[in-house]
Amino acid sequence: MSKLDETRKKGTQTLIALAVIAVAVYIGFTPLYELITPNGGVAGAVVGSSFGAIFVIILTMYLLNKQTEIEQESKKSERIFDEKVKLYYDIYNEIESMLKDGCISKDEEMKKLPFVMARLVTIGSDEVIKAFTEIFSLIVKIYKKEESQDSVEISADQEGEMILCIVELAKVCRLDLGISDVPIDSSLMESAVATVDSSNKIASTRNKPIEGAPKTYAEKVIDGCKYNINRYDDTSIRIYKDGVYFEGAVKTELGIINEALDLNIDTKAWGNTRTAGYKIIKAINSQKET
């Protein structure tokens, strides 16, 4: 039994005792008081003041116990609120990092998200768990299409769908945290969703060809196919195969290049696509120098 439950139990017991004593005094002690009171004097005053003191003591015990219960409940609510805020923002950061990278990794997201779900089940509301389940299900659905790969690239349409799910999650998190007692206005929500969707379309140029010369690059022929791996000023990575822009999962393709050329780069620790591309380019050029 928790301390809060014990405090509540003691408070209930004190309240019952107070009620029992009140009934007993009214029924049992009334004849005694009537017997003593007509004579007046000290005896009547002592009996009256004694009954008053008993009630004050028990009532004070109850009020103190109730105050302790309120303080414990307040501390508990405050701690849970802080943990919820931290967890919800961790979820946003994880999804943001995944979308920024453009890939779902088996060693990152697929192993980490189940534990996020477990923490959410611990302290989140039913509606928040339901909203996050939608996101989790979408991530699993995307990954299952190429589950044999270490990482699967997220398409622009899938990214847009995921962002809209995040907005829905934010809506229920708002209610769960008590930011508002009523759901967000439907017209305001529709406006927010439309703005996010428009923003996502603008930002969906991820992995599109980049004009201009790359800052660094590497060239290599693998199984008769000429690979050009370019890294630009903004650290973006682009792959060309026999001069044709590669539109598939860049990070997955980098893994294939890593294995084909025996570069021995640890794919579990090479970071996002940009970091991985930088390491691949550096390793290929180092081979040329030797």
pLDDT reported for residue 197: 59
Q: If you write DSSP's letter for every residue of 66-119 in order, what string do you get?
A: HHHHHHHHHHHHHHHHHHHHHHHHHHHHHHHHHHHHTEEETTTHHHHHHHHHHH
Q: Which of 21-30, 70-79, 118-127, 151-160 has the lowest mean pLDDT?
A: 21-30
Last residue of a domain, one of 145, 179, 203: 203
- Phi/psi of residue 231, each to 5°? -125, 125
Mean pLDDT of 211-238: 87
Last residue of a domain, one of 170, 203, 236: 203
Radius of gyration (Cα) for the chain, nearest Å? 34
Please indicate, yes or no, if residue 91 is contained in any of the structural domains: no
Q: Which residue has the higher pLDDT, 98 or 1?
A: 98
Mean pLDDT of 15-34: 65
Do residues 114 and 156 share a domain?
A: yes
Residues 287 and 281: their CA atoms lie apart, in Å, by 10
Mean pLDDT of 71-76: 77
Do residues 193 and 221 share a domain?
A: no
Q: Which two three-digit tokens encode residue 61?
A: 């015990």
pLDDT band, very low/low/confident/very high, at 185 (cuts 50, 70, 90)? low
Q: Which residues, listed in sequence order, are joined to residue 219 by a DSSP beta bridge?
A: 228
Burial of residue 186, with CB atoms counted within 10 A of its CB: 0-12 exposed, 13-18 middle, 19 or more buried: exposed
Do residues 197 and 232 share a domain?
A: no
Q: Which of 196-200, 240-244, 270-274 has the lowest mean pLDDT?
A: 196-200
Q: Which residue has the higher pLDDT, 233 or 182?
A: 233
Do residues 115 and 38 share a domain?
A: no
pLDDT band, very low/low/confident/very high, at 199 (cuts 50, 70, 90)? low
Q: Which two three-digit tokens encode residue 192?
A: 């927010």
Do residues 62 and 133 share a domain?
A: no
Do residues 198 and 124 share a domain?
A: yes
Do residues 199 and 222 share a domain?
A: no
Do residues 137 and 224 share a domain?
A: no
Do residues 197 and 240 share a domain?
A: no
Count helices and strands (H / E) in the chain: 9, 6
Answer whether residue 3 shows pLDDT above 60. Answer: no
pLDDT reported for residue 229: 92
Residue of 207, 202, 229 whose CA lies nearest to 155: 207
Three-state DSSP state, 221: strand
Please indicate, yes or no, if residue 110 is contained in any of the structural domains: yes
Please indicate, yes or no, if residue 210 is contained in any of the structural domains: no
Last residue of a domain, one of 150, 178, 203: 203
- Phi/psi of residue 135, each to 5°? -65, -45
Domain boundaries, position 108: 102-203
Do residues 28 and 109 share a domain?
A: no
pLDDT reported for residue 196: 59
Q: What is the pTM of this model?
A: 0.54
Do residues 255 and 233 share a domain?
A: yes
Answer whether residue 50 shows pLDDT above 60. Answer: yes
pLDDT band, very low/low/confident/very high, at 207 (cuts 50, 70, 90)? low
Please indicate, yes or no, if residue 90 is contained in any of the structural domains: no
Answer whether residue 49 shows pLDDT above 80. Answer: no
Residues 56 and 59: their CA atoms lie apart, in Å, by 5
Residues 145 and 208: their CA atoms lie apart, in Å, by 22
pLDDT reported for residue 203: 52
Mean pLDDT of 176-200: 67
The number of distinct structural domains making up the chain is 3
Please indicate, yes or no, if residue 131 is contained in any of the structural domains: yes
Q: Which residue has the higher pLDDT, 189 or 128?
A: 128
Do residues 244 and 277 share a domain?
A: yes
pLDDT reported for residue 14: 65
Please indicate, yes or no, if residue 53 is contained in any of the structural domains: yes
Answer whether residue 67 shows pLDDT above 60. Answer: yes
Instruction: Calculate the alpha carbon distances from 139 to 14, 63, 173 in Å.
Output: 54, 52, 20
Residues with Cβ within 8 Å of residue 217, at least 6 apart in sequence: 228, 229, 230, 231, 281
pLDDT band, very low/low/confident/very high, at 86 (cuts 50, 70, 90)? very high
Mean pLDDT of 279-290: 80
Q: What angle do CA 42, 44, 46 make, to 5 degrees?
A: 65
Please indicate, yes or no, if residue 119 is contained in any of the structural domains: yes
Residues with Cβ within 8 Å of residue 195, at least 6 apart in sequence: none
pLDDT band, very low/low/confident/very high, at 198 (cuts 50, 70, 90)? low
> How would you classify the pairing of strands 151-153 and 216-222?
unpaired
Please indicate, yes or no, if residue 266 is contained in any of the structural domains: yes
